[in-house]
Structures are given as structure tokens and as C-alpha cells.
Chain A
Amino acid sequence: MLLEVKDIIKSFYGVTALENINIRFEEGIVHALVGENGAGKSTLIKIIGGVYHADSGAILIDGMPVKIHSSFDALKKGISIVHQEYNLVRNMTVLENVMFGKEITGRFGKMDKAAASDYLQKIANKDNIKVDLGKYAGDLSSAEAKVVEILRACCNDMRLLILDEPTAALDDEDIASLFSLIRSLKTRGIGIIYISHRLDEVFQICDRVSVLKDGKHIGTWNTGDIDRDFLIKAMVGREIKDIFPHKASGNNYQNSVILSVRNLSDSSHFDNISFELKRGEILGIGGMSGHGQRELIRALFGAIRVTKGTIAINGEKVAIKHPAQAVKHGIAFLSDDRRNEGLAEQQSVARNIAYPSLKMHSRHGIIKSKAQHALIDDLIMQLNIKLSSQQEIVQNLSGGNQQRVVLAKWLPLKPCIMLFHEPTLGIDIGAKVEIYKILRNLVEQGISIIMVTSDMLELLNMSDRILVFYEGHIMAEYPGSVASEELIMAAASGKPFDIGDKE
């Protein structure tokens, strides 16, 4: 046994991220780590990689307990992580990138490029890695960059290699060559932890798989002993609690289409997206994060430039190139990043609420403060925001109350479409129930909602219709009444079931 985590517990600000995790990673075994967003995979990896320190529990290497103090410490102990995101210096060559910290020098401290290149070539040959050492890192394809990062790991006498979503940006051919590299590393006895959302890859390349869910270790199996359905169930199998308001049974708005999006594309995140939004509907958008949902919802609000396609509101084509135009067309946006995109945290509730509607409440450029004050009081009552006064600083409010302040900010503008990105992120369960009620109220008033969320329960139980994104495309669309966790997970990992097949 190479590395073992034992009774690892980690919590952030009282929220448990990992609960008693026990997993053994062996030499020469490709060990997959799977789970939904927020299941605790990246926290566990960061603990093994020395970025975080566990609250309690132990890490054992070769059976001996060790402390891993920093990412460099992890490196010295033979643990290398290849992160999902690009981690090279673009304007330097592959050779230079790999050799930082272990440069070979000759007389007067002059670097010996020939010796370095020989040294690297030898290491590369072990695993049959082919890479042009003189190429600039910025000119490498995503696949080549991954290989270079693995080569860099190989130079550190690595024993355990952690690959975080290594195939996220690769095409099939690149994946095949990456897999043959992984197999070569495996035969040399290197242990590999493979994190991926793509379950087919897990069965293709991994020997063993561990499932994490809500910070708990659900189980570890040999991939030969289980099938895909079993794995999906292990990842999502949970009971639905009584926290969601009932969906309106009938639609009072005669299915009139308010927003229609045709062939919308941006430079790189989403491609050829078409859908319609009906009046008084909650349209949920699901999928693993990073598959274009974030960018789409911002593009609808004019915060990201689209390169192709049209947006029509009430049947009329509109140009939305800037958030100001979106607001003019009655679109409101509630970001997942309240701190940066939603609120001026250091300022009072009253000021925050007033910003978008300042013009409405001023005459000749001077704010009518009385009218504004009354309006804000009204909103605070209506949304049941708990405050001592309007002057309270937003930063001091709970997540749920902050989200309500963002809502209050938009309501005076009477939006017809509201875009929510992670409407209940960082909000505790009691406040979630309240937010869900407010969302239901809004759609009953005829407002339409698009909701991008990574919370599976929220997506299933709040949406009237669900779109599932995969690699910038809409992979599947399900009516809210039909959708299930299994259906969505399958579509989100690129292999949608046919609804007919399932039933």
C-alpha cells in the first residue's frame, strides 16, 4: 500500500467538508475518485497535496504516518498533482518550464541546456513521451500541456500522481494517447488518483473507484465488479426532503413564449444554444460546472460577448451587448458571486437596494430620498429581510438575507426575466426554503426564471423544465415532472438515456 488516508475530518467555518474518510491508494493502481460538485473530492486532494491540513486523521505513506506541510513538501514525498487548469509559464520553453528549481549549470552559473535536454529526454523515453522541448509553453495544445505537466511530475521521483479532470479539454484522440501514458506509468508502479466527471473514462482506465458524497466516503469498488448504473446510484442516491414548495399545477399564462434564444454561441464556452423560455416558468439549467452554463447566463445579461445567434424577447429580436441593455429589456441577474457581482458589501442595505432604481426615484438628477426610503421599507417587508435598520451593512447579514437584498434591488425595475446563478449558494437550509418560496411567488406573478444550479435537488424540485449542459451544448431537455437524478447525471456526463429506454 502506497498512501492511505485515515479518519480524515475537515470542516470550513463549521461546515463539514469531509467526514471520516478512509481510502487506500495502492502502487500501480489507477484509482478513480468520483462524486458530485461539492462532494469533497477537491478538499481531499488538497489535503493529500499539502494545500489544506486536516482537522484530524492521518496520512500514511508506506504505512508510516506523515505530515504534509505544503505543496512543495508533497512533491518531495513523491506526490505530484496535475491540476485541471493550465500551470505553465507561457512565454518560456517546455525545457525551462520543467527544469525550474533543478536547473543544470556549468561555469559561471551558466545553464547547460544540452545536459538538461539529455536528462529530460531520458525521463521522457521511459514512458515514451514525445514532446518538443524547445517549444514555447504558450504554443502547446491542451493535450501537449498536460503531457508536459506529467513530464514535470516524472522528474520529481513521483510515486503518486493525482490527475484532476485531465481530459476536460481534450478530444478523443488525445485522450487515447493520455491513457496509454497513464498505463505506462502504472506498469512502472506509480499510483494514480484519477478525478473525473466522465464515468465512461472511469470504467475505461481505472482499476478501482471511490465515491464521495456530501463529504462522506460511500464506498470503494473494483471497476470490474460494478456497472455504470450502480456507480451513478452511489453518487446521487439520496432522499428528497420536504423543503420545496409545490409546483403550480397548471400554467396560468397560456404558454406564451417570452424569451427565445436561437443558435447562440460565444468564443469558446458554449456553442449553438437554442431554447425558449415561457412566461411564468422556471427553466433549470444543470450539468457539471464548467460546461458553459456560467457563460451562457452571463451572455444573456450582456456581460459576455456572443459571437453568433439571436435573442428575442416577446418575439422581437433584441441586441444585448451590455448589462445596461439587458436591464432595459427587463432582465435581472443574480450572480453566484454575490461578493463581487451582486452587492457592495461594505455599504448599507438601503444603498445596495437603491442602486439599480436610482433614476426612477430622482428628479432633475437629485434623489427623492423620502420616496426611496418608503420603497425600500416596503421591499424589506415584502421579502421579509431581517434587519435592525435600512442602514445595516450588507456584509453583516447572513447569506440568505444577502440574497434577498439582491432580489430587492431588482424588483422595483419590474423585471420580466430573472436569471439566477446558484440561487442558494452559501445559504443554510432554513433560508433556502424561504428563497424557494420567493422564487415560486415570482413565477406566479408572471415573471420567468432561468436558474443555473449545481444543486441536484434544487434543479429537480424547482424547475418546470430542465436543460442539461455538456461541453457547451444542450445535451438533453426534460420536463420537470419526468426528470430524475439518474437521467440528469447521465446527460451531464455526456451519455444521455433516451427517456423511452428508461421507461
Chain B
Amino acid sequence: MTIAMNAAKAFLQELRHPRRHSAKIIWTVLALLLILIVIVIPEFIHPLNIANVLQQMVPLGLVAIGQTFVILGGGIDMSVGSQISLISLIASTLMTDSIPNILFIVLLCMSCGIICGALNGFILKVFPMPPLIATLCTGYFFQGIAFALHKTSGGYIPPLFKKVLTASWGIISVPFVFYLFVFLLAAFILYSTPFGRRVYALGGNADVLEKSGVSVASVKLVTYIISSLLCSIVGLYLAARLRSGSSHYGDEYTLLSITATVVGGTSMAGGLGGLSGTLAGTILISMLTNVLNNIAFRYNLQSSYYKDIITGILLITAMYFYRKRE
């Protein structure tokens, strides 16, 4: 009994004053919230709804993984949203029904993603400027190209492409399995390879890295490329799911991916945090979105406004809550 009490005390202590990164906080909050939601809206745990949430969280989850790499490295990628929109339009503009064409366009879109990320990394290497400004500018640049391709939404996506990318069997779906695979791969890279450790050092104290003879600029470059590559995959997925491209598909993902990362305990200053927190942050946001939609449907409200308001509040609360860590 006393042991349990002490353990509980230590846990609460840890929650209040986390030493370094602790994803425990966000997972605890998530669990409590889930219990609350299930009590208030029992239909939330209906298998169909769970399958829905798991599929809904994939695009955000993928973007947030990339964002986590960038933020851990002391940067920020404000251009993710417009990259997603741009890629969705490139895909919908060029895709036809032939399978070789589909494969070619997929590769082309991913290459475009890599180029976008390389551009971000290159700009930051050549002109030392705040990454916030640099990526905000490239974001406008990408958005402009997207507008030039199509003012709103349109293009053509072959039914086969949609069928493959959104196939599902009960709770298991292609996008979710793909997400799990990317998540595990990213975790392996971040925690078990030299590159991953260098990302942490880049955000923690880049000077140390430089003096060890590691090229700081190239580590940074790769984090932005990872982010953009994942954006291009999300762009393809969204285009497939909605069978068109749009210059607005990506709009919400910039702030949402930053929120998921920061709510998950990754420090905006870099060098502190990790993917487990980002996963929890992603689930939290997707869960809240689902619940809001549910409530909105019941009372016949417009849910998207509330979602924006809640995202903003969530991000500020998380920043406030985590502010005192080193």
C-alpha cells in the first residue's frame, strides 16, 4: 500500500516537474481524456468510429513525424501545408489510368517533395536566418505554384489509386499500416542511428557537433528533406482519398503538426522530446476532432471553427506548460 502511494507520489512529482523529456504527461492526459469521452459519448468506442479515427489521424501523423525531426533539430517547418497542397495538385494534374503512369507520378511527387525539403535546407545553409521566416517564405512560394496549377480543387485521380491507398479491413487499413511502418522506421532512425543522435545534438548544442567534425548544415538539410518527403506522401494520400487535388488540402496541417509535436513534449528550442509524445499528440488532436464532429453533428453546428479555436488554445497551453524545462 505504501509502496503504491510512494509510486503514485513519484509519478505526480514527475508530471509536475518533468526531468527532461517525458511523454508520460501527454499519455496520461490522453488516457484521462479518453475515459471522459467514453463516459460522455459511449459511441466513441464503436469499432467503426475507432477505425475512422485511426484512418483520420494518418495524414497528420505523417506530417507530425517530419515536423518532429525538424523541431528536434532546432528548426521549424512552416511550409508543410503548402507542400501538401502542391503535391496533391501535381498528382491530380498529371495522373492517368495507366499503371506505369501512376507509379511514375508517385515517384515524381516524392522527388518534388525531396526538392522542396532540399530548398528549405539549402536556404538555411546559405543565408543564416530564422527557420520560421525561411520556411514561411518558401511556403508562400509553394502555395503560389499550387494556385498557378489550380485555383481551388480539381484534376483527375484514377479510381484504382484511391482503391489501393484507402483499402481497409475492419480496423486495419492501408494508410494506418503504412503510418505504423513509417513511425517505427522513424523511431529507429531517431533513436538508434548516428544521424538521429546528431539531430538531437543539432537542437541541443550545434557547436559541439561542429567541433566534432560533423557537418551541421547537412544534418539540418536531411531533417527538412524527411519532413518534405512525408508531406509529399500525405499530398498523394489526400489526393487519392478525395480523388482530386486542391490548393487548400494542406492548409490546416502546418499548425496542427506543430501542435501535435509540441503537445507531445518536444521543445520548440530543439534537442528535447521525441516521437512517442508526437504520436500521443496526434491521437489527442484526432480524437478531439472526431468528438467535435460528433457533437457538431448532434447539435447541427459548424465544427471547423471550434477545431481551430481548440488547436490554438491547445498549442498555447502546451507551450505554457512545458516552458520551464531546460
Do A100 and B272 contact each other (CB < 8 Å), given the known contacts A92-B200, A111-B193, A111-B197? Answer: no
CB closest chain-A residue, reference B271: A91
Is there contact, CB below 8 Å, between A97 and B208? yes
Is there contact, CB below 8 Å, between B197 and A87? no
B21 beta carbon closer than 8 Å to chain A: yes
- Residue numbers in B under 8 Å from A87 (CB-CB): 205, 207-208, 211
Is there contact, CB below 8 Å, between B193 and A110? yes
Do A100 and B197 contact each other (CB < 8 Å), given the known contacts A75-B211, A89-B205? Answer: yes
Chain B: interface size category:
20 to 34
A136 beta carbon closer than 8 Å to chain B: yes
B326 beta carbon closer than 8 Å to chain A: yes
Is there contact, CB below 8 Å, between B197 and A75? no
A90 beta carbon closer than 8 Å to chain B: yes
Is there contact, CB below 8 Å, between B204 and A72? no
- Residue numbers in B under 8 Å from A109 (CB-CB): 193-195
Do A71 and B211 contact each other (CB < 8 Å), given the known contacts A89-B271, A92-B204? Answer: yes
Is there contact, CB below 8 Å, between B271 and A100? no
Is there contact, CB below 8 Å, between B20 and A136? yes
Residues of chain A in range 143-197 having any CB-CB distance to chain B below 8 Å: 152
A101 beta carbon closer than 8 Å to chain B: yes
Do A101 and B192 contact each other (CB < 8 Å), given the known contacts A87-B205, A111-B197? Answer: no
B285 beta carbon closer than 8 Å to chain A: no
Contact with B along A104-138 (1 / 0, CB 8 A): 01001111000000000000000000000000101
Contact with A along B194-234 (1 / 0, CB 8 A): 11011011001101111111100000000000000000000
- Residue numbers in A under 8 Å from B197 (CB-CB): 92, 96, 100, 103, 111
Contact with B along A68-94 (1 / 0, CB 8 A): 000110011000000000011111100
What distance in Å separates the Cβ of B274 from its nearest Cβ neighbour in chain A?
10
Residues of chain B in range 157-212 having any CB-CB distance to chain A below 8 Å: 188, 192-195, 197-198, 200-201, 204-205, 207-212
Do A88 and B208 contact each other (CB < 8 Å), given the known contacts A109-B194, A111-B197, A138-B326? Answer: yes
- Residue numbers in B under 8 Å from A108 (CB-CB): 188
- Residue numbers in A under 8 Å from B198 (CB-CB): 100
Question: Chain A: how many interface residues by the 8 Å CB criterion?
Answer: 24
Is there contact, CB below 8 Å, between A91 and B193? no
Per the bound structure, the CA–CA distance linking A138 and B200 in Å amounts to: 14
Is there contact, CB below 8 Å, between A90 and B214? no
Is there contact, CB below 8 Å, between B204 and A90? yes
Report which of B192, B271, B272 forms a contact with A110, defined as CB distance below 8 A: B192
Do A105 and B194 contact each other (CB < 8 Å), given the known contacts A72-B211, A88-B208? Answer: yes
Per the bound structure, the CA–CA distance linking A273 and B188 in Å amounts to: 53
Report which of A89, A103, A110 forms a contact with B204, defined as CB distance below 8 A: A89
Is there contact, CB below 8 Å, between B213 and A91? no
Is there contact, CB below 8 Å, between A89 and B201? yes
- Residue numbers in A under 8 Å from B271 (CB-CB): 89-91
Is there contact, CB below 8 Å, between B193 and A90? no
Residues of chain B in range 265-313 having any CB-CB distance to chain A below 8 Å: 271-272
- Residue numbers in A under 8 Å from B207 (CB-CB): 87
- Residue numbers in B under 8 Å from A88 (CB-CB): 205, 208
CB closest chain-A residue, reference B20: A91
- Residue numbers in A under 8 Å from B193 (CB-CB): 105, 109-111
Residues on B facing A (Cβ under 8 Å): 20-21, 188, 192-195, 197-198, 200-201, 204-205, 207-214, 271-272, 326
Among all A-B residue pairs, the 7 with the closest Cβ atoms:
A103-B194, A100-B212, A101-B212, A89-B204, A72-B213, A89-B205, A101-B213
**Can you show 22 pairs from A to B with CB atoms below 8 A apart?**
A72-B211, A76-B213, A89-B200, A89-B201, A89-B209, A91-B20, A91-B204, A92-B197, A92-B204, A100-B198, A100-B201, A100-B212, A100-B214, A101-B212, A101-B213, A102-B212, A105-B193, A105-B194, A108-B188, A110-B192, A110-B193, A111-B197
